[in-house]
Structure 1
Amino acid sequence: MQQPRRADEQAAPGCPVGAAARGLADPLLYAGLDFRFREKWKDLRNLDRLEWEQVDERNGFWSVVKYHDADRVLRDAHTFTSERGTLLNILGVEDPAGGRQIAATDPPRHTVMRARLQKALAIKSIEAQRDLIRDLVLEVISPLADGGPFDFAQAMLALPVAVGGESMGLPRADWPMLGHLLNASIAAEDPEYRVPGGAQATLDRAHRELFAYFQDIYRERRRNLGDDLISILITTEVDGRTMSPGEVMSNCYSVLLGAVVTTPHSPNHMMAEHIGDGLLDRWAADLSVTPTAVEEGLRLGSPVSHFMRYAVHDTEVRGTEIKAGQAVVTWLGAANRDPEVFPDAETFDLRRKPNKHVAFGIGPHYCVGHTVARVTLRILFDELLSRFTAFEPAGEPIRLHSNFISGYKHLPITAKTV
C-alpha cells in the first residue's frame, strides 16, 4: 500500500485549513493572482498515483485531479459517501447535515429528496422566468453605463442572490444581508468576512444567522404556501413524512448557497482573465457562440474548487490504495483542465464541443440548479456584450481567500455603451 505522505509543514491542530497549512487545503493558495494552485494541479495530474496531503496531526486527504478519476469518485456513492462531509472546512468532523441535506445525503434517499426540487428547476420552468431573470440582470449591470469604475465582482455576487431570492420568495430587502452571510460561510478565512475569533467563529456566526433567518421564513411560509422553492421543500415527503423544519432550513441554505457559488465566478473569471485580450470582442461579434462560450467559461473558471467524499470501504483509485474512512477530495478545476480529455486544455475556445466539464459536479449530486445558472449566464453575457464594449480594468482584482470557491470578490472595470 502507498502510505499517506505528510506535507512539509502542518497546520496547527484543530485548524485544518488555517493559513499555516501547506498545499491545496490552504485558502491563501487561492488568493493570489499568480494562480499557484493551477501549477499544483498540473504537477499532481502528471503523477501516476494519488497524493496524500496531511493537514494536521489527525487529518489528511487524498487529492483526485484527473478527470476520469473525479468522474468515478463523484458517481460512485456506494464507495464514496457524501454523508460525512463534502467540504474541507469540516475535514475530520462528522457533518451534522448528513442524511438531512440534499447535498450531504446519498442515494436512494437523496434521489427522493431531490426529485420535486429538480422538477421545479427544470428547463421549462426556468425558461418561463427568462423575462424576470433578464430584468434582474439589467438591474445589476446598468450602473456600468455611467462610465465610471464599476465593481463587476460585487455585481456578480449580487446576481444569484437576486435570482435565487425571487425563486424562493425572499424579501428583496434581505438580499444584501443574505449575500454577505453566504459568502462568509464559504470564505471564512477571507479578511473581508472574518469576524473576531477567527475562521471557525465566522463560519459559526454565518450559519447561526442564516438558519435563524430561514427559521422565520419557514414559519411564515408554512402558513402561506405557494409555488416557490421553499414551499416545495416544505411539502416534499421523504420516508413517508414531510421534511422536518430543520431539514427544510438546511436545504434552503444549501439551495441558495449553490446559486451563490456557481453563478457569479464564471463571469468574474472571464472579465478578470480575458479583459483586453480580444476574447470578449470576438464573442460580442458573434453572440450565437454564447451557449458554448458559457460552458467554456464554466470549465476554465470552475467556480467550485472541490468536493470531498469519504471511502466507505477499502478501494483503489489510480493505483493508490485508499482505506475505509479516509477522505478523498476531487479538485474540479484540475479535472476540467485535464489535457487527456480537453485538447488545448488551457485555451479558451468559444466554440468548444464536446465540453463535458465537471464545473457543476457529476453523478447523483450534479448541481440541481445547473439549468437556472446556465440560463442566467447566457442572458447575462448576451445583455452585457450587446450593450457594452471597450471593457478596461479600473483597479487591481482581488481574489477570495477560499479553498472551496475559486473566484474574485472585487473586480473594478469600466466600459462604454454600444
Structure 2
Amino acid sequence: MCHHQDCPKKMKLDHSVSPDDVDLEATDLTDSDLYAHGDPHSVWTAMRHRDPVRWQQVDEDRGFWSVTKFADVDLVLRDHTLFTSERGTMLFLLGKQDPAGGRQMAATDPPRHTRMREPLRRALTARNVEPYRDAVTAAVRRLLAPAVSGEPFDFARVMMALPMATASTMMGLPREDWDHLTRLTAMAVAPGDPDFAEPGGENATLQRAHRELFGYFHNVVRQRRRNPGDDLISLLMDTEVDGEKLDSGAVLSNCYGLILGANVTTPFVPTGAMAAIAGTPALELWRSDPSLFHSGVDEALRWSSPANHFMRYAVRDVELRGKRIRAGDAVVAWLGSANRDEEVFDAPFTFDVRRKPNRHMAFGSGPHYCVGHAVARMSLKILFTELFEGFDHFEIVGEVEHLHSNFVAGIKSMPMTMKARSDALDRYAALTPC
C-alpha cells in the first residue's frame, strides 16, 4: 500500500523533471505507454519551452505537428478556415480518412456543423438538463454507497460508471445496458490498455468497440422509429440540416459521439482532483468554503484535462511560430499542455481551488466546444457536493494506475478510503447492505 504523496504513479497529472532534461528526440507522443507509465507533462513543458510547434515523424508515410502553447491550441481548435476537423480528430485516425467526416458533429466543420449542433445545444442547456438532477443525484449516491463501510474501494473504477448514468438517462437507454456500454466506450478510447484490450491488439479492440456500439445504437434507433420519445436520440432523429433530416448513418454516428464524449470528459475529473488533493489542506479548504465550490470544479477540470488531444488538418499553408505547416499536414493540439501554460496560468502545477480567472480548455475551444458541457458540469457539481457533504478523511491507500491511452488522460484505478459523516448516513442507509 502507498500513501498518495509517495506513490510513484502520481506524476502523470504533474511534472517531475526539468524541461532541460527531457530528450524530445526520444519521445513518441503517440505511444500510450507514455501516458500510463511515463511523464507526459514534463515532455509538454519541455516542448512549450523549447519547441512549441514540433514535427514528429511516425513512419515513412505519416507524421504530425504538435502544438503545446495555449494560444496555438486555441487557434488550431477555433479556426476551421485554417484547420479542418473533417479528416479525423484523433491520432488513431492519422493518415486515414475519417468515415464520419461531414456526418458526425465532431468531424464536421461550420457552417454545417453549426446547423447540426444547434438542436442538441438547445436540448443540453443548463436549464434543460436541470430536470435530470434528481436522477443523477440518485445514481451518484448508489455509486458512493460502498464507501460508507470505511473499507477501501476503487474510486476511479466507480467514477468510470458516472457519465453513463447521466448520458444513458438522457438518451433513454435501459440501466441493464450501462455496464456493457461503459466497457465498450473504454475500449474505444483506450484500446491499448490491458484491462480493455482484445486478444487481437489495438485495432481489433477498436473494431469491436465500434462495431458493437454502432450495432447497439442501430437497434435503439430502429426502436425509436416505432416509438419516438423526448430523449436525445429521438431529438437527433428529428433534426433537420439544410432542409433534410439526418440519415440513419449520421444519427448513429452522433449517438456514438455523444456517448463517447460523456465517458471521456466526466469520470476522470474527480479522480484526477482527488489524486492531487486527498488528505491535503487544499481539499479541506474547498470542502469547507462554499464560496470556492464553483472555482474548485473549474480547477479540477483544468488539472485533469481528460481529453488529451484533438487533431486537425491544415487547409492551406500556415506559418506558426516560425514553422511552415503545409496544406494537408496533421496538427495535434495538446489540451493537457495548454492547461499548464505558464503564460496563461500562474503556478500551473499547483491545484488552486481559488484560481480566478481560469480559462481552461478542458471542454475544448471554438465551434467544437463540448456540446454537453452543461451536463458534465451538473454531474461534477452533484458528485463533489455528495463527496463533501457525505464524507471526510479521504485517503489514497493503494497504487494509482493510469489509462494506456494517448487520447484520454485518466486514472483507471485508485483505491481509497473515506469516512461517512454521521449527519449524512441516512441518505445512504437504503443503499447499503445491513
TM-score range, shorter chain: over 0.9
Aligned position for 2:69: 66
* 2:124 is the counterpart of 1:121: yes
1:94-173 superposed matches below 5 A: 94-173=97-176
Residue deviations 1:76-116 (CA, integer Å, cap 9, x gap): 00110000000001110010000000000000000011000
Residue 128 of structure 1 deviates from its aligned partner by 2.6
1:150 Cα offset (Å): 1.0
Contact conserved, 1:77 with 1:107, CA < 8 A, in 2?
yes
Deviates more, 1:247-256 or 1:391-400: 391-400
Structure 2 contact 52–67 (Cα < 8 Å) conserved: no
Say which SS state the counterpart of residue 65 (structure 2) adopts: strand
Counterpart residue number, 1:408: 411
- Quick check: 1:49–1:319 contact (8 Å CA) kept in 2? no
Q: Verify the 8 A CA contact 1:150 1:414 in the aligned structure 2.
A: yes
**Contact residue 153 and residue 408 of structure 1 kept, 8 A:** yes
State, as a whole percentage, how many aligned pairs show the same letter.
Answer: 54
Q: Do the aligned partners of 1:265 and 1:406 also contact (CA within 8 Å) in 2?
A: yes
Q: Choose 46-55 or 67-76, whichever is displaced more.
A: 46-55
Specify which of 348, 373, 377 is matched with residue 376 of structure 2: 373
Does residue 92 of structure 1 match 2:103?
no
> Does residue 386 of structure 1 match 2:382?
no
What is the deviation of 1:75? 0.6
1:406 CA drift (Å): 0.4
Distance in 1 separating the partners of 2:353 and 2:396 = 22
Confirm whether residue 289 of structure 1 aligns to residue 292 of structure 2. yes
Which residue in 2 is equivalent to 1:243?
246
Question: What amino acid does structure 1 have at the position aligned with 2:374?
Answer: T
The amino acid across from 1:338 in the alignment is D
Q: Please give the secondary structure, in 1, of the residue aligned with 2:160.
A: helix
Per-residue CA deviations over 1:164-194 (Å, capped at 9, x if unaligned) read 0000000100000000000000000001111
1:25 equivalent in structure 2: 30
Give the structure 2 partner of residue 13 of structure 1.
none
State the Cα distance separating 1:8 from its structure 2 match: 5.1
CA distance in 2, matches of 1:49, 1:261: 26
1:29 maps to a residue whose letter is: L
Superposed CA RMSD: 1.2
**For 2:85 and 2:293, how far apart are their aligned partners in 1?**
34
User: What TM-score, normalized to structure 1?
Assistant: 0.93
Q: Equivalent residues in 2 for 1:274-353 (5 A)? A: 274-353=277-356
Deviation at 1:49, TM superposition (A): 4.8
Matched pairs, number: 398
Change in CA separation of 1:76 and 1:50 when aligned onto 2, cut-off 3 Å: same
Residue 127 of structure 1 deviates from its aligned partner by 2.0
Partner Cα distance (1:190, 1:252) in 2: 24
- From 234, 237, 241, the equivalent of 1:234 is 237
Do structure 1's residue 270 and structure 2's residue 280 form an aligned pair?
no
CA distance in 1, matches of 2:50, 2:319: 15
The answer to whether the Cα contact below 8 Å between 1:48 and 1:319 also exists between their aligned partners in 2 is no
**Any stretches of 5+ residues in structure 1 without a counterpart?**
1-6, 10-21
Secondary structure of the residue aligned to 1:46 is helix
Q: Does 1:207 align with 2:210?
A: yes
Alignment match, 1:16: none
- How far is 1:57 from its partner? 1.6
Provide Cα deviations, 1:245-284, integer angstroms capped at 9, x if missing partner: 1111110010011110000111010122222223222211
Which of 198, 214, 220 aligns to 1:195? It is 198
